[in-house]
Amino acid sequence: MNQNRVRSRVAVAAAGLLVTALVGGCSGGGPAKAKDNTSASGSTIMTASAKSEVEKITWNVFEGEPQTIDPYKSADYTPNMINSNMCENLLLQTPDSQIKPNLASKFSNPDPLHWVYDLRSDVKFWDGTPMTADDVAFSLQHNLTDKTSLYNYLFGNVDKIAVTGPNQVTVTLKSPDYLINDEFASYAGVVVEKKFFEAHSADFGSPSTGLMCTGPFKFDKWTQGQSISVSRNDSYWNADLTPKAKKIDFTFVTDGAAITSGLLAGQIDGTFNVPTASIAQLKNTPVGTFTEGPAPFNTTMVWANPQGAGSNAQVRKALQEAIDWAGIAKQTFGGTGAPIKLQTPSTVFGFAKTPMDALEKSLPDPASVQYDDAKKIVDGLPADVKAKKIVMVVPDAAETQQLGIAIKDAAGRIGLNFELKVVPQTGYTNYLYDPATRAGVDILYTQFWPNIPNPLDWLVTTAVSGGLFNQYNYDGVDKQYTEAVATADPDKRAQLVADIETKLHNELLPMVPGVKLDNTVWMNKKITGAPAAFSYVYYPWAAHLGGTQ
């Protein structure tokens, strides 16, 4: 049913810092661009606006070269950071977490089983061909019928998709679904040129073929092992997002030290996800600017074995209270994060903001480093539960290893039988998606982010039966989730979300509250404009880049 949105940040951190700290006991209208530069909490959404055109910008993609730039198979930092500037969706999610019309000029929900999309008539693909309702219906239909699409799981309630006018497409549902419309601001609503896709269906998104979309940048060249080059689409329809950069080269450096050297030497103009170990250095250098902004991340652990020790609620409670989440935020992530009270960060509250804010405010601050209280809980466990080994698996990046060591340290201090396994990053995905690989594993690491700023999207992937990120097979909120998705009244739907979150918080399943991280971005003094907020996975962020003079 679901496709996961979990990926590890590959960043380099100073070895041993966390261990030292923890052992010491530390505690709707038309298309729009973001105009307000700060969030409600005062966080920076956009960096300073660009003033001039530039010939070329080199931007690094911190997780390396993608396997494809096919948007239907793109659900990770790497391909999405590039694709978001080329391929557009029916709706647009902006850096300030709003969902607005885009390729669809307006939408309506005339009855519970129909969503109607009136399309813009001034949009062209890069080859000059006008975008038609047939292209849009074909694009959505591909997500509906192709089981290999990473967005197919969102179409479970969709019955059919049809052209219902010269510039209109209608989605007919099997049952009411008040999440699907917002999902069209992700690649669930991506639009590609039908004739190009059908001619290149076997190699769409490959280095040799590329793709054909409508965005502000068009695909030029993929030099494997080196870069993907895009150039400005001078026929782009959205005047508010006319690019100032004529060309962008996306490079694939993954080593934190090499990224830092490239930034300081001017070989790389900018990057998101600044290497943790270099934050202090890059904050204070005169050759560039470092900015933090809001992000929808929860870096944490997930219980994955309903037959293991974690099936005991007291085990989960004891470990959660013992972990030094504040130390993890400070040491592992360079102070760019903070412990959170709920598994879903506030940046994702969306339509449920009012009851979710009230719920979050009502909860006590996260209890961590409570070794004495947690040990009393463990001492009271049945002998057979206490004897069970808790196995946690993390990928071998510096940050993830440090997080795992912190959790192991907490478990050891309170008397839990705990084993930490570190596996290659290239193989870690198998633990997330393959039940056979993770057999016997109790806890998995994740850094989770959703498709859209909507808590129902977060929940359907992490806490509902069938969700690929619900490795525990937890079903405790299925009934409430089904009711929420089908509820038309947004206030009633929002309260149902808050009720679900309360249950997840109390049960500590399957994902626990961990560390909410900020997004980070660094640019040299020659360029500016990138969003500081985490918006680069579906929003054409590079259209804002340009010169500072």
Would the pLDDT of 427 be above 60? yes
Contacts made by residues 369-374, CB under 8 angstroms, sequence distance 24+: 369/25, 369/26, 369/27, 369/322, 369/323, 369/324, 369/326, 369/327, 369/410, 370/321, 370/322, 371/322, 371/410, 371/413, 371/414, 373/321, 374/317, 374/318, 374/319, 374/321, 374/322, 374/410, 374/413, 374/414
| Average confidence (pLDDT) over 326-351 | 92
Strand pairing of 443-448 and 298-303?
antiparallel
Would the pLDDT of 32 be above 80? no
How many domains in the chain?
1
How do residues 208-237 score in pLDDT, each as one tens digit?
999 999 999 999 999 999 999 999 999 999
CATH of the domain at 377: 3.10.105.10
Of 153, 142, 80, 102, give the one whose Cα is nearest residue 449: 80
Would the pLDDT of 22 be above 90? no
Of 463, 506, 454, 507, give the one whose Cα is nearest residue 481: 463
Give a yes or no: residue 353 inside a domain: yes
Instruction: Tell me the residue range of the domain where 507 lies.
Output: 298-517
**Residue 300 β-bridge partners:** 446
Cβ–Cβ under 8 Å, residues 460 and 467 = yes
| Average confidence (pLDDT) over 289-302 | 95
Distance CA 410, CA 407 (A): 5
Looking at residue 536, its pLDDT comes to 96
Distance CA 73, CA 7 (A): 15
| Average confidence (pLDDT) over 43-54 | 96
Strand pairing of 270-272 and 168-173?
unpaired
Task: Report helix, strand or coil for 258.
Answer: helix
Q: b/e string for 332-341 if b means 16 or more Cβ within 10 A?
A: bbbebbbbbb
Cβ–Cβ under 8 Å, residues 393 and 444 = yes
Give a yes or no: residue 143 inside a domain: no
Would the pLDDT of 25 be above 80? no
Burial class for 354, CB neighbours closer than 10 Å (0-12, 13-18, 19+): middle
Task: Report helix, strand or coil for 338.
Answer: strand
When the pLDDT of each residue in the chain is averaged and rounded to a whole number, the result is 91
Would the pLDDT of 354 be above 70? yes
pLDDT band at 28 (very low <50, low <70, confident <90, very high): very low
Give a yes or no: residue 463 inside a domain: yes
In SS3 terms, 44-68 reads as ECECCCCCECECCEEEECCCCCCCC
Would the pLDDT of 15 be above 90? no
Looking at residue 63, its pLDDT comes to 87
What DSSP state is assigned to residue 289? E
Four-CA torsion 6, 457, 186, 471, nearest 10 degrees: 30
Looking at residue 96, its pLDDT comes to 94
| Average confidence (pLDDT) over 73-100 | 95
| Average confidence (pLDDT) over 360-389 | 95
Distance CA 531, CA 541 (A): 7
Looking at residue 39, its pLDDT comes to 59
Q: Which helix (H) or strand (E) holds 445?
A: strand 443-448
How do residues 431-464 score in pLDDT, each as one tens digit?
998 999 999 999 999 999 999 999 999 999 999 9
Cβ–Cβ under 8 Å, residues 452 and 186 = yes
Cβ–Cβ under 8 Å, residues 39 and 94 = no
How do residues 155-194 score in pLDDT, each as one tens digit?
999 999 999 999 999 999 999 999 999 999 999 999 999 9
| Average confidence (pLDDT) over 11-24 | 29
Distance CA 473, CA 436 (A): 14
Looking at residue 16, its pLDDT comes to 29
Would the pLDDT of 31 be above 80? no
**Residue 248 β-bridge partners:** 57, 230
Give a yes or no: residue 369 inside a domain: yes
What contacts 218, CB < 8 A, 6 or more positions away? 86, 126, 230, 231, 232, 233
Q: Which two tokens stand for residue 208?
A: 């040799």
Would the pLDDT of 36 be above 80? no
Would the pLDDT of 397 be above 70? yes
Cβ–Cβ under 8 Å, residues 365 and 338 = no
